[in-house]
Amino acid sequence: MLHLIHFPLCPHSRSIRLALAEQGLPVELALEEPWRWRPEFLAVNPAGHLPVLLRDGAAPLCGAYAISEYLADEQAHHPVEGHALPLFPGSAEDRAEVRRLVDWFHAKCDREVTRELIHERYIAQVAGGRRNPPNSENLRAIATNLRYHLKYISYLADHRRWLAGDDLSFADLAAAAHVSCLDYLGQMPWDDFPAARTWYVRLKSRRSFQPLLADRLPGLAPPAYYADLDF
């Protein structure tokens, strides 16, 4: 049995939850609040990052990059019955493009938008107990960066069937994981980016996405439309 140490509003964790669901792999979830830096968690992953995939009798797999590559390799050697999603489909060039976009969202978008917004809107306010309002200058910079990333998603969605090419891939799951976190926080200017919105609706309508849409955080509810499949 697989066990995933995760946090519901962590986009890296969400991308792996989607990947596991798309491959039809059952997993038990274990909640970890990464800002607490618990010694017990650091003993499992000294980097203190999420997610961590635990396998019976094997070393833990730490981080979305390592876990996604492991899942892709396992699928190649032990195909899952049914219609499991290849995480890195196509030719070597196709797979390189998937990995480039995964890095775009899990590194660049996370650094410029998702991580900062989660800190301002959730960790510092609800989890951290900060009484001061969010930093308005930071929020303006994050909003500007968010529009830049949505413009890029819209461009890719306009020119390709999926973000990395003809096939749904881990690039889409990584991007959708970040978008879903930002959507939970009510920060998505959907009306200005119809192509990105159409792409996201296709993702959030998949069965793998439903557990994410059911997530709720104490003290912070998502917008009313958050779980709607066609908003």
Global pTM? Answer: 0.94
CATH code, 179 = 1.20.1050.10
Residue 168: count of CB within 10 angstroms of its CB: 20
Statement to judge: residues 114 and 33 lie in one domain: no
Statement to judge: residues 200 and 110 lie in one domain: yes
Which domain, by its residues, includes 190? 92-214
Statement to judge: residues 141 and 63 lie in one domain: no
Residue 222 lies in a domain: no
Asked if residue 91 lies in contact with residue 169, where contact means CB atoms within 8 angstroms, the answer is: no
Statement to judge: residues 116 and 205 lie in one domain: yes
Residue 127: count of CB within 10 angstroms of its CB: 19
Question: Would you write out the chain's pLDDT as a tens digit for each of its 231 residues?
Answer: 899 999 999 999 999 999 999 999 999 999 999 999 999 999 999 999 999 999 999 999 999 999 999 999 988 766 665 567 899 999 999 999 999 999 999 999 999 999 999 999 898 877 666 666 777 889 999 999 999 999 999 999 999 999 999 999 999 999 999 999 999 999 999 999 999 999 999 999 999 999 999 999 988 999 999 999 877
Statement to judge: residues 209 and 135 lie in one domain: yes
Angle, CA 175 vertex, CA 172 and CA 181 arms, to 5° = 135
Statement to judge: residues 104 and 180 lie in one domain: yes
Indicate the number of domains in the chain. 2
Statement to judge: residues 198 and 148 lie in one domain: yes
Residue 231 lies in a domain: no
Statement to judge: residues 56 and 157 lie in one domain: no
Residue 228 lies in a domain: no
